[in-house]
Amino acid sequence: MSAQPVNPNLPPDHVTVFIDGVEMAAPKGSMIIQAADKAGVPIPRFCYHEKLPIAANCRMCLVDTEVGGRAAPKPSPACATPVMDGMKVFTRNEKALKAQRNVMEFLLINHPLDCPVCDQGGECELQDLSLGYGRSVNRFVERKRAVADEDLGPLVASEMTRCIHCTRCIRVTAEIAGTYELGGMYRGENLQIGTYDGKPLTTELSGNVIDVCPVGALTNKVFRFKARPWELTARPSLGYHDALGSNLFHHVRRGDLLRSVPRDNEAVNECWLSDRDRYAHEGLAAADRASVPLIRDGEGFREASWEEALAMASQILRDNAGDALGVLAHPATSNEEGALLARMASGLGSGNLDHRIGQLDLSDGAAAEAFGMPVAEIESADAIIIVGSNVRHEVPLLHQRIRKAFKKGAKIHVVNPVDFDFTFSIASKAIVPPSQLAAALAGVDVGDAGNIAVIVGGVAENGPHAAAIRKAAADFAAARNARLCRIPQGANALGLSRLGVLPTARDAQSMLREPRKAYVIYGIEPGLDFADQQLALKALGGAQVVAFSQFACQSTRAVADVILPIGALPEIDATLTNLDGIQQQAVAAGKLPGLAHSGWRVLRALGGDLALPGFEFTDLAGLRAGLAPKAVQVAKGAPASMAGNGLEVAASAAIYRVDAVIRRCDALQAHPLTTGPRAALNPADAAALGLAEGVMAKCATAAGTATLQVALDPRVAPGSVWVESGYGATAPLLAAAKLEVARA
């Protein structure tokens, strides 16, 4: 007969434990360290991390335990010892403290103790704990070991002599990223953590090994030697390179944004951060940042005062009000700026307003919608269907949630034109040309799964067959009681849709196919951000253009008549709405360059000059008080052109070329995932065309031609050619449904 529980009033899945004499309830099967953390009792640790599998490597968390009046013969690791009913745990008695101090002495035997030159100094867990558990004198007199460092790539710096073998980094690459790139080599004192093959880290989540490393073995290579932690001020902000809106802190010193680190939010990004969001700040310091108003002067530009630049912009808009004006906004534009753009377009009598600049097929009038299943719940789904998305590159931390669902038993089904690399096994996949995605989705068999998510991504949403795929996804979800999750195409596409930054007359494609006399372009790099770059440059080049821009780049200079410099998201106070429909706030971190201003301030000044309604507020609080959802009857565009012969175009966004800031981040451009412009063909199609790996091929469409290097890739669906957007070389191909490929 089993013993009676110590406290019979507890739920059946809980037990009573006594930690340092304090009685508390803990779930059955949980570890001592988890119960202690919940109760606020500190236990030192290095290898334990609440988001990682338990390794029990470091032994720093040794505690004394007693069960049924019998003391354990030796200290127990709190991270790997389950609680038991009536267990007594002593974290600070002589036995526990002696064990913890002895472990600390062993850890410091081979540590180089180079704190003055270590980037981790000031936020080092080993440094903090050695103060309380370390000896004042080192009894070890033999030579310390040294470890040769590997080059882990452009993002993570290594100094593995400092490594204490906690294996947190190994578990991050294995369990969180799913790439298994780090591991332990050799044994005993000779154990080393590394990649074995000497190649750089390729995971899109590699920067998280920096966060979990408790010492200075793995540090931020871009931030290295730039500042000490106590010199930095943390400003809460958001990732703005995908629609997840990862929470983060920007660390600033005297107005200079030096690094970004994750900010915990279980509902969004947990405690992780994609490399794209972590390192993007480097692009803000690009040489072509717009820092002063510029006015066209003949074939070039001259610097101007804000008064002169705004006067010229006002005159252009007055002269071209109504249907003659088109307003185009980048889909990462903040809610505040988007609302003012909508007010401006309305006040000027123009229904030509859109943020869906990267989408070809808007014939169904589709706009961004909140996920039918919150992103935090996706990891609990029974079945997930990925349609037209390289989700690992499109929203890296959404891909990580899908991996968690797979580890819990979810079946993942894929319908794609390319068999993209994912870090989970696929239950079924249909790799077909883009024109067949809608039909292939209808044939997916999810069995008797109850909790189903259908995730539709950028390859589908931005392609020429988007309307048909969206309808097929909606029909599939309705027939199977699944929840539809269309990834918004832009960091704030959902917020802009809710605030009415949508056309009542001409959509983005229509106002470029039927050129307007004048345009406002907001936060856009004209040469790379549009779905049809050549169409856009032709339309903008023949019109008067007011450009609100973070960068005075070559393509902006080619089309603009006046360039008004505005801040990027890390430099302004702003709100974004993420894919769950959650409105999140960012606080200005880095200083604005030169004479640049927050976009909302420039828009307010321009609206005031034009005497438009809705611009009477005096500060940001006044602007936000007037923000409200705005329902509009969205105009439907014309279907995308299907003209052309040859192979179907499957276009996806290059992970580190998605926007102007990322494209200027040197570290990310040097990353192995930035492969450069190329045309990937199925080997069978390449053989039929007489093309081999690495040769240069001419890719011809109705709109233009491009010469690209050929890559043979069996993952590409037969009858298709895969290209990545974000490169000038591939821009002429993105708007085509088909192209002809021949040896150059």
Same domain, 389 and 462: yes
Contacts of 364 (CB under 8 A, 6+ apart): 466, 467, 470, 471, 636
Cβ 169 vs Cβ 207: under 8 Å? no
569: in domain: yes
**pLDDT at residue 240 greater than cutoff 50:** yes
What amino acid occupies position 598? S
pLDDT reported for residue 249: 98
Cβ 470 vs Cβ 485: under 8 Å? no
Q: Taking the CA of residue 620 as centre, how many other CA atoms within 13 Å lie in the half-sphere pointing to its CB?
A: 16
- pLDDT grade for 7, boundaries at 50, 70 and 90: confident
Question: Which residues on neighbouring strands pair with residue 584, listed in sequence order?
Answer: 576
DSSP 284: G
Query: Can you give the length of the chain in residues?
Result: 744
Where a domain ends, among 486, 505, 522?
Answer: 486
141: in domain: no
What amino acid occupies position 709? Q
| Residue 521 tokens, joined | 């372009």
**pLDDT at residue 4 greater than cutoff 80:** no
Same domain, 480 and 505: no
Q: What is the CA radius of gyration of the chain?
A: 28
Question: What gap in Å lies between CA 310 and CA 651, rounded to an integer?
Answer: 38
Q: Is 550 helix (H, G, I), strand (E, B) or coil?
A: coil
Write the CATH number for 720.
2.40.40.20
pLDDT tens-digit map of 566-602: 999 999 999 999 999 999 999 999 999 999 999 999 9
Q: How many domains does the chain have?
A: 4
407: in domain: yes
Instruction: Give whole-number Cα distances, 36 to 31, 53, 68, 166, 390, in Å.
Output: 9, 18, 20, 20, 41
Helix (H), strand (E), coil (C) string for 376-436: HHHHHCCEEEEECCCHHHHCHHHHHHHHHHHHCCCEEEEEECECCCCCCCCCEEEECCHHH
Same domain, 353 and 393: no
65: in domain: yes
Helices 599-609 and 335-347: crossing angle, nearest 10°? 20
Instruction: Give whole-number Cα distances, 8 to 16, 25, 209, 518, 717, in Å.
Output: 9, 11, 43, 76, 62
73: in domain: yes
Same domain, 355 and 499: yes
Q: Is 579 helix (H, G, I), strand (E, B) or coil?
A: coil
Same domain, 332 and 316: yes
380 φ/ψ angles, rounded to the nearest 5 degrees:
-105, 5
Question: What gap in Å lies between CA 604 and CA 501, rounded to an integer?
Answer: 17
Q: Is 184 helix (H, G, I), strand (E, B) or coil?
A: strand
**pLDDT at residue 283 greater than cutoff 70:** yes
Write the CATH number for 472.
3.40.228.10
CA 431 and chain centroid, separation: 25
pLDDT reported for residue 3: 60
Question: What gap in Å lies between CA 603 and CA 336, rounded to an integer?
Answer: 10
Same domain, 579 and 652: no
Question: Which residues on neighbouring strands pair with residue 546, listed in sequence order?
Answer: 520, 562
| Residue 215 tokens, joined | 């010492």
Same domain, 302 and 404: no
700: in domain: yes
Question: What gap in Å lies between CA 50 and CA 42, rounded to an integer?
Answer: 14
Pick 190 or 409 by higher pLDDT.
Answer: 409
Average pLDDT over residues 284-305: 96
pTM exceeds 0.85 for this model: yes
Question: Which residues on neighbouring strands pair with residue 566, listed in sequence order?
Answer: 597
CA 55 and chain centroid, separation: 29
Cβ 398 vs Cβ 245: under 8 Å? no
Same domain, 330 and 421: no
Question: What gap in Å lies between CA 11 and CA 354, rounded to an integer?
Answer: 55
pLDDT reported for residue 138: 84
| Residue 716 tokens, joined | 């590409």
| Residue 38 tokens, joined | 């919940």
pLDDT reported for residue 1: 32
pLDDT reported for residue 623: 97
- pLDDT grade for 744, boundaries at 50, 70 and 90: confident
- Range 389-400 burial, b when 16+ CB lie within 10 A, else e: bbbbbbbbbbbb
Instruction: Give whole-number Cα distances, 650 to 423, 674, 709, in Å.
Output: 22, 18, 16
Question: What gap in Å lies between CA 13 and CA 20, rounded to an integer?
Answer: 23
Same domain, 460 and 512: no
pLDDT reported for residue 312: 98
Cβ 653 vs Cβ 724: under 8 Å? yes
Question: Which residues on neighbouring strands pair with residue 418, listed in sequence order?
Answer: 716
Write the CATH number for 87.
3.10.20.740
pLDDT tens-digit map of 260-282: 999 999 999 999 999 999 999 99
Q: Is 563 helix (H, G, I), strand (E, B) or coil?
A: strand
| Residue 80 tokens, joined | 């790997």
Dihedral sign computed on CA atoms, order 596, 602, 606, 608? negative
Structural element, H or E, at residue 511 = helix 508-513
Dihedral sign computed on CA atoms, order 265, 271, 272, 278? positive
Where a domain ends, among 107, 130, 149?
Answer: 107
Helix (H), strand (E), coil (C) string for 319-358: HCCHHHEEEEECCCCCHHHHHHHHHHHHHCCCCCEECCCC
pLDDT tens-digit map of 674-730: 999 999 999 999 999 999 999 999 999 887 889 999 999 999 999 999 999 999 999
202: in domain: no
Where a domain ends, among 86, 107, 128?
Answer: 107
Residue with tokens 């229904």: 351
Q: How many CB atoms lie within 10 A of CB 590?
A: 21
Question: What gap in Å lies between CA 436 and CA 444, rounded to an integer?
Answer: 13
Same domain, 578 and 700: no
Q: Taking the CA of residue 740 as centre, how many other CA atoms within 13 Å lie in the half-sphere pointing to its CB?
A: 10
| Residue 318 tokens, joined | 């007055």
Structural element, H or E, at residue 171 = helix 168-171
Same domain, 672 and 596: no
Same domain, 614 and 506: yes
Instruction: Give whole-number Cα distances, 423 to 176, 403, 551, in Å.
Output: 10, 7, 36
pLDDT reported for residue 652: 98
**pLDDT at residue 112 greater than cutoff 70:** yes
Domain carrying residue 686: 647-743
Q: Is 520 helix (H, G, I), strand (E, B) or coil?
A: strand
Cβ 658 vs Cβ 493: under 8 Å? no
353: in domain: yes
In 3D space, the residue among 331, 328, 324, 464 whose CA is nearest the CA of residue 388 turns out to be 464
pLDDT reported for residue 677: 97
Average pLDDT over residues 229-243: 97
pLDDT, the chain, mean: 96
Residue with tokens 């030192």: 44
Question: What gap in Å lies between CA 649 and CA 740, rounded to an integer?
Answer: 10
Cβ 493 vs Cβ 395: under 8 Å? no
Question: What gap in Å lies between CA 689 and CA 525, rounded to an integer?
Answer: 35
